[in-house]
């Protein structure tokens, strides 16, 4: 009997000691875990992009948000401005952000993306926010008919922060009053 009581007493003592130690360590563990094992807080919201510069082709233009027209096509900015496609990611966020601007105007002449087709791999594109900037490097470009826009390459599924710059290009259709193609420039965010 003595042996059984001794084992039961020893087991009860071990349980009590474990409970007390765990109770004392719990606040220490919680403090340690909250400072070293949790994810970093998200970066502050940069706000809306406000300007774009592309030194290689002399671009320094205000950046305004655009959406979709009633017919489902993308809105375009007024002359002298570039636009960011607001329903998509902001430049520098995960996914493909899209900037558009006109190549020229019959009335006003060359516009913001007049020389977009001249960009080469490695050329820099910087998007300005009220308190920060996001810089991208051109990786490539293509020209495609407007009726065969490479949607999968422009808005493809990616979590990388990439940038797409789009303007008109190719031959001008005088009857329709517009260019037949689009020039698309692809750029990746620099770290």
Q: How many domains does the chain have?
A: 2
Alpha-carbon distances, residue 142 vs 81, 105, 154 (angstroms):
22, 22, 11
Q: Is residue 43 a part of any domain in this protein?
A: no
Q: Is residue 44 a part of any domain in this protein?
A: no
Q: What is the CATH number of the domain that holds 119?
A: 2.40.260.10
| Contact status, residue 45 vs residue 52, Cβ threshold 8 Å | no
Give the torsion through C-alpha atoms of 115, 93, 133, 112, to 10 deg.
20
- Residue 17, domain extent: 1-38
> Average pLDDT per run of 10 along the chain, which is 191 residues long?
40 38 41 54 86 98 96 93 96 97 94 98 98 97 94 92 97 93 97 79
13 and 60 assigned to the same domain: no
| Contact status, residue 98 vs residue 113, Cβ threshold 8 Å | no
78 and 134 assigned to the same domain: yes
The pLDDT, as a whole number, for residue 38 is: 66
Distance from C-alpha of 10 to C-alpha of 13, rounded to nearest angstrom: 5
Query: Quick one: CA dihedral 52, 46, 134, 155, positive or negative?
Result: negative
79 and 127 assigned to the same domain: yes
The pLDDT, as a whole number, for residue 92 is: 95
The pLDDT, as a whole number, for residue 191 is: 79
Q: Is residue 29 a part of any domain in this protein?
A: yes
56 and 33 assigned to the same domain: no
81 and 109 assigned to the same domain: yes
The pLDDT, as a whole number, for residue 43 is: 72
| Contact status, residue 185 vs residue 168, Cβ threshold 8 Å | no
Distance from C-alpha of 99 to C-alpha of 165, rounded to nearest angstrom: 5
First-last CA distance in the chain: 73
71 and 156 assigned to the same domain: yes
24 and 60 assigned to the same domain: no
170 and 131 assigned to the same domain: yes
Q: Is residue 168 a part of any domain in this protein?
A: yes
The pLDDT, as a whole number, for residue 110 is: 96
| Contact status, residue 134 vs residue 91, Cβ threshold 8 Å | yes
Q: Is residue 45 a part of any domain in this protein?
A: no
Contacts 24+ apart (CB under 8 A), 132-135: 132/46, 134/46, 134/49, 134/91, 134/92, 134/161, 134/189, 135/189, 135/190
Q: Is residue 85 a part of any domain in this protein?
A: yes
Distance from C-alpha of 23 to C-alpha of 161, rounded to nearest angstrom: 46
165 and 75 assigned to the same domain: yes
33 and 55 assigned to the same domain: no
């Amino acid at each position: 009997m003595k042996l059984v009581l001794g084992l039961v007493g020893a087991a009860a003592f071990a349980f009590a000691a474990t409970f007390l130690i765990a109770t004392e360590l719990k606040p220490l563990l919680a403090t340690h875990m909250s400072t070293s094992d949790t994810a970093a807080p998200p970066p502050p919201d940069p706000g809306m992009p406000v300007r774009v510069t592309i030194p290689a082709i002399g671009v320094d233009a205000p950046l305004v948000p655009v959406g979709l027209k009633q017919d489902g096509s993308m809105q375009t900015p007024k002359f002298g401005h570039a636009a960011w496609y607001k329903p998509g990611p902001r430049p520098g966020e995960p996914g493909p952000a899209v900037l558009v601007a006109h190549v020229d105007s019959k009335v006003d002449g060359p516009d913001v993306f007049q020389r977009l087709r001249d960009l080469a791999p490695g050329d820099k594109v910087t998007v300005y926010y009220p308190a920060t900037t996001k810089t991208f490097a051109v990786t490539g470009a293509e020209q495609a008919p407007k009726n065969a826009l490479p949607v999968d390459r422009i808005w493809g599924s990616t979590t990388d922060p990439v940038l797409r710059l789009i303007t008109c290009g190719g031959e001008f259709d005088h009857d329709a009053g517009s260019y037949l193609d689009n020039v698309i420039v692809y750029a990746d965010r620099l770290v």
